[in-house]
Structure 1
Amino acid sequence: MATSINGYYDVPEGVDVRGRYDADFAAAILTAEALRFVAELHREFRGRVRHAMGRRREAQRRYDAGAVPGFDPATRLVREGEWACAPVPPAIADRTVEITGPAERKMVINALNSGAKVFMADFEDALSPSWENLMRGQVNLRDAVGGTISFYDESRNKLYKLNDDKLATLFVRPRGWHLPEAHIFVDGEPAIGCLVDFGLYFFHNHAAFRATQGEGFGPFFYLPKMEHSREAKIWNDVFERSEKFAGIEMGSIRATVLIETLPAVFQMDEILYELRDHSVGLNCGRWDYIFSYVKTFRAHPDRLLPDRVHVGMAQHFMRSYSDLLIRTCHRRSVHAIGGMAAQIPVKDDAAANESALDLVRQDKLREVRAGHDGTWAAHPALIPAIAAVFAAHMRDGAPHQIRTADRDDASTVSEHDLLRPPHGPRTLGGLRLNTRVGIQYLAAWLVGTGSVPLYNLMEDAATAEISRVQNWQWIRYGVDVDADGVAVAVTRELFARVLEEEMAGIERAVGTEMFRRGRYREAARIFARQCTAAELDDFLTLDAYDRIVVLHPASASASASRL
């Protein structure tokens, strides 16, 4: 167990912990041994991560110059070859309904008790990466894996604890390769965020997880934001390195990759191939996928999106993406997991609530008929309806459709299908909604909330990113939008007026006192700067990250004790 000297974390050579000192963090998570493990991962893989991020930038420069993504001729033999991933472990054969959410204490308990088959604890889009959120999330997951987690809600006089049985299986989503962790430095540079998330969780929980799940059945992970199979290869090597360190059999760690970038849809076979001993499937991260479509084609004015409410799975490029993912997964003997149902209960309007549930049922019916093996829900109240749809339509009553779904028609999915520009109206109302959602989400994110209910939907960083990049695209190209039947060009001046009006509307909605105490004005400044920038930034949260990073006031002394 780590100790502290003069209130600071005990750290190995070359490591600085610059986050606020907390005795719980020091004793439970930031032990010297755990930090050494994280530092070793960072040192071993940082060069390859830098190279991969450089290759991402090179690819984007090609797209900006007029190129488009496509299937790589150099890996044709991988795509056409007859190979399969390792068998799916029995513990996660049934993944029909998965719930996702941040690794907050009450959320973790409620999600594990929810009746879902899987709970994905999120350190990425649904979590604002403050020091406290990240470290308390690690404490919460350690207690959940150990079966000791509980939470007393004083306001409700209610104790939350785990059920005795039928708990969801825990998956953990670390951050993407591109995100740093500014509270932990290794050799004078910020640690790679995902290696902090993965390393701390794996170090403290692999033994307890295996004790409850059985040999060869985890831990389980979701891997986000990849654009190329070289990034999957890094993860595979991280897994093998960690399994060797822990003395567990190769292939024990299993992961599902989110296909949520446009370049990655052309790399699905290759990604599975690199992770074939550790993979259990792919997921349609559809909101980030829409964001990536805009970002990839930011210099292509012929590929402008309509209002985001019209960019759904009925769009040809989205349906093609889903079909190809299903075919690819089933050909390689792993799960194809569907997209997020972002609806949340409408508590004061029974008719509106039923209408929202009907939209969820229709979406999930489309997914299960297409061949998906499971899907995502943002709220526990959606789980019974989704489970009923999948139970009624899964072929032969099997827990998945890997062997039973017939998706031969997806073999005809072409590059053109995956790139076809979407169609639909662009309206002033769409610009207003983007602005309203983007500001409110970012204001919540800056104060530590990464998953925000807005307008009967659960918004996270992915939907805020769609709002940002779509506004940028429309302003950049002076797009005409429909304003009550009149075509109006989206200019910086129009956007400034919309921003001012939407800020006034937000203040009326939340109240003057809440508006004053919140960080709405700061959020509006960040959002406006991003929407009007000459060059589109890669990620909204990268720009805003420094504004939530609060370092330990005496961080220069945080490394005073060396091992």
Structure 2
Amino acid sequence: MTIVGPAVVGGAEVLTPDALAFVADLHRRFGADRDRILADRVRRRAEIAGAGRLDFLPDTADVRAADWRVAPAPADLCDRRVEITGPTDRKMTINALNSGAQVWLADFEDATAPTWANVVGGQLNLTDAIERRIEFTSAEGKQYRLTGDQLPAIVVRPRGWHLDERHLLVDGAPAVGAFVDFGLYFFHNARRLIAAGSGPYFYLPKLEGHREARLWNDVFRYAQQALDIPTGTIRATVLIETITAAFEMDEILYELREHASGLNAGRWDYLFSIIKTFRDAGSGFVLPDRNSVTMTAPMMRSYTDLLVATCHRRGAVAMGGMAAFIPNRREPETTRAALAKVRADKEREAGDGFDGSWVAHPGLVAVCREVFDAVLGDRPNQVGRQREDVKVTADDLLDIASTPGAVTETGLRNNIAVGLRYVEAWLRGTGAVAIFNLMEDAATAEISRSQVWQWVRTGTVLDTDAVVTVDLVRGLIAEEIAALRAELGEQRFAASRYEVAREVFEEVALGTSYVDFLTLPAYRLLDD
């Protein structure tokens, strides 16, 4: 293995010879399987779009019909009523662990721009947090340190299968990013976590089916064997955030049953996946403005109901989706209205049987906890609540046409504004960005640019009667760039990466060929 990244804080502690050898071993053993998965995704996507159709798999009907359950959850993953998510930078690590949530999702994926400093520093921060020695002093002199006796369980989200790590080469090729994130964390911390009464827990992102879950299970088995850790110590929660995975929830849990602890309704990536999968399948698959697609839309209700019913039937927890609002003290009326929406969203989830939910900001922990406390009381979860009333069909999951809302000029402008702002911040190394009082990450930016791409290709008509064309979008991008230049001033604008962000956004939103993930071309330009 060759390190080609620059010297960064934490390198000596994280990039030890034994840890790198472990990562290289994972890459050599399972890298070809990862490559086959990526190739299969391309082939299957083309078949689905061509048919305009998806269905439950006939060859796994026996798995769906059989009576089986996942392994019992460890003690610190039984009560997950509030989970806070965020990147693994030092300040966020401390704030998340002090938030009062039951779980912290330490995110190396959508909330992290994978600069080498972020990748290595995030690993160091996690180890320092587990050892309770993490501290941070801001440029203004404010000090941050852990305050509670009982910290949230840490669940790490490694990068998806599609991302490589250019700063580590195995036999001359970039290492699989997922193996880097998983391998370094597991190697350094598995025994530490077990000694502390916890364990190595993971969130698995962007899986498109049960065969991808099978690969992770193979990786888990091998990693535990290689480090002499009992099989089943690792626990994984799978984000059901692709439309294909929604048709394979039972099968995904079955493949991971010795390591599975639950499923999560990854709502933003799920919308992105619907657009991406059916992007060229015709106007019948066009969604309205992203901000108008709520969890009460028929297809989203079917998706979440099926997730809860599947999890509880299999003895797994069902985790609700992200509350992305960021409280703003300077806008009390906006904050009050948004908190009311967050409360209503969490009340719907708790009432539907979810066992907990996500928030993106410490200021939302109390609201989420209050809602789930009212439903759960002293119980750690409501896994025992079987949703036998749920009867979801393929048509229900694909009922895109019944989604209320319209495609508007305001929505188009918002997609452009969010996309440009997010990509610019990502290129500077920030993966979770507060924009217009919402926490935006790679998933929400993917929705924004994918909608623009699809609206152009389908000639979608806006509420103004204008047709979405390449020229219209380029003109609106130019207007947004001009507004940003005026807002920032020439000096600050020149120091930003907005011109590069415009190039990336136009490539992924207006290119002739659809780019599967905006982070792929952006990664080549990421500022180390």
- Could you list the per-position Cα deviations for residues 345-392 of structure 1 after superposition, in whole angstroms to 9, with x for gaps in the alignment? 121122221111111100000000000000000000000111001101
Alignment pair present for 1:296 and 2:281: no
Alignment pair present for 1:539 and 2:521: no
> Structure 2 counterpart of 1:419, which letter?
L
SS in 2 for 1:170: strand
Matches within 5 A, 1:256-271: 256-271=237-252
**Which residue of 446, 449, 469 maps to 2:430?**
449
Q: CA deviation at 1:509?
A: 3.3
Structure 1 residues 530 and 164, CA gap change in structure 2 (3 angstroms): closer
Q: Partner residue of 1:331?
A: 313
Q: Does the CA-based 8 Å contact 1:182-1:549 persist in structure 2?
A: no
> Structure 1 counterpart of 2:458, which letter?
Y
Q: CA deviation at 1:233?
A: 0.7
Farther-moved stretch of structure 1 (372-381 vs 495-504) = 495-504
Give me the whole-angstrom Cα distance separating, in 1, the residues matched to 2:77 and 2:474: 50
**Which residue of 501, 507, 530 maps to 2:479?**
501
**Which residue of 158, 164, 178 maps to 1:180?**
164
Give me the whole-angstrom Cα distance separating, in 1, the residues matched to 2:21 and 2:352: 46
Q: Does the CA-based 8 Å contact 1:260-1:289 persist in structure 2?
A: yes
SS in 1 for 2:165: strand
Alignment pair present for 1:102 and 2:49: no
- Could you list the per-position Cα deviations for residues 247-273 of structure 1 after superposition, in whole angstroms to 9, with x for gaps in the alignment? 121100001000101100011111000
Give me the whole-angstrom Cα distance separating, in 2, the residues matched to 1:115 and 1:64: 44
Give me the whole-angstrom Cα distance separating, in 2, the residues matched to 1:279 and 1:509: 48
Q: Partner residue of 2:32?
A: 47
The root-mean-square deviation of aligned C-alpha atoms, in Å, is 1.2
Matches within 5 A, 1:493-532: 493-532=471-510
Q: Partner residue of 1:6?
A: none
Q: CA deviation at 1:134?
A: 0.6
Give me the whole-angstrom Cα distance separating, in 2, the residues matched to 1:540 and 1:203: 30
Farther-moved stretch of structure 1 (64-73 vs 303-312) = 64-73
Alignment pair present for 1:315 and 2:312: no
Q: Partner residue of 2:2?
A: 16
Q: Partner residue of 2:13?
A: 28
**Which residue of 37, 48, 59 maps to 1:63?**
48
Q: Does the CA-based 8 Å contact 2:97-2:104 persist in structure 1?
A: yes
Q: Does the CA-based 8 Å contact 1:131-1:549 persist in structure 2?
A: no
Farther-moved stretch of structure 1 (465-474 vs 52-61) = 52-61
Q: Partner residue of 1:159?
A: 143
- Could you list the per-position Cα deviations for residues 83-129 of structure 1 after superposition, in whole angstroms to 9, with x for gaps in the alignment? 00000111221100000000000100110010000001100000001
Q: Partner residue of 1:74?
A: 59
> Structure 2 counterpart of 1:504, which letter?
A
Structure 1 residues 67 and 425, CA gap change in structure 2 (3 angstroms): closer
Matches within 5 A, 1:96-495: 96-155=81-140, 157-213=141-197, 217-301=198-282, 302-394=284-376, 397-403=378-384, 405-410=385-390, 412-421=391-400, 422-483=403-464, 487-495=465-473
Give me the whole-angstrom Cα distance separating, in 1, the residues matched to 2:347 and 2:492: 41
SS in 2 for 1:488: coil
Give me the whole-angstrom Cα distance separating, in 1, the residues matched to 2:503 and 2:305: 40
Q: Does the CA-based 8 Å contact 1:436-1:506 persist in structure 2?
A: no
Give me the whole-angstrom Cα distance separating, in 1, the residues matched to 2:148 and 2:477: 50
Q: Partner residue of 1:10?
A: none
Q: CA deviation at 1:67?
A: 4.1
Structure 1 residues 391 and 187, CA gap change in structure 2 (3 angstroms): same
- Could you list the per-position Cα deviations for residues 53-83 of structure 1 after superposition, in whole angstroms to 9, with x for gaps in the alignment? 1111110110232242221000000011100
Q: CA deviation at 1:21?
A: 2.2
Q: CA deviation at 1:167?
A: 1.2
Q: Partner residue of 1:9?
A: none
Query: Please, what TM-score do these two structures have when normalized by structure 2?
Result: 0.98
Farther-moved stretch of structure 1 (324-333 vs 527-536) = 527-536
Q: Does the CA-based 8 Å contact 2:427-2:527 persist in structure 1?
A: no
SS in 1 for 2:196: helix
Give me the whole-angstrom Cα distance separating, in 1, the residues matched to 2:228 and 2:164: 28
Give me the whole-angstrom Cα distance separating, in 1, the residues matched to 2:489 and 2:338: 27
Q: Does the CA-based 8 Å contact 2:428-2:527 persist in structure 1?
A: no
SS in 1 for 2:83: strand
Q: Does the CA-based 8 Å contact 1:285-1:339 persist in structure 2?
A: yes
Q: CA deviation at 1:244?
A: 0.9
Give me the whole-angstrom Cα distance separating, in 1, the residues matched to 2:440 and 2:486: 21
Give me the whole-angstrom Cα distance separating, in 2, the residues matched to 1:518 and 1:168: 36
Q: Does the CA-based 8 Å contact 2:280-2:457 persist in structure 1?
A: no
Give me the whole-angstrom Cα distance separating, in 1, the residues matched to 2:10 and 2:151: 26
> Structure 2 counterpart of 1:381, which letter?
G
Q: CA deviation at 1:340?
A: 0.2
Q: CA deviation at 1:169?
A: 0.9
Give me the whole-angstrom Cα distance separating, in 1, the residues matched to 2:12 and 2:409: 53
Give me the whole-angstrom Cα distance separating, in 2, the residues matched to 1:154 and 1:502: 31
Q: CA deviation at 1:495?
A: 0.9
> Structure 1 counterpart of 2:523, which letter?
Y
> Structure 1 counterpart of 2:305, which letter?
D
Identity of aligned residues (%): 48
Q: Does the CA-based 8 Å contact 2:269-2:444 persist in structure 1?
A: yes
Say how many residue pairs are matched.
Answer: 525
Q: CA deviation at 1:508?
A: 3.1
Give me the whole-angstrom Cα distance separating, in 1, the residues matched to 2:49 and 2:363: 43
**Which residue of 63, 71, 78 maps to 1:93?**
78
Q: CA deviation at 1:166?
A: 2.5
Give me the whole-angstrom Cα distance separating, in 2, the residues matched to 1:277 and 1:268: 15
Q: Does the CA-based 8 Å contact 2:312-2:386 persist in structure 1?
A: no
SS in 1 for 2:79: coil
> Structure 2 counterpart of 1:286, which letter?
R
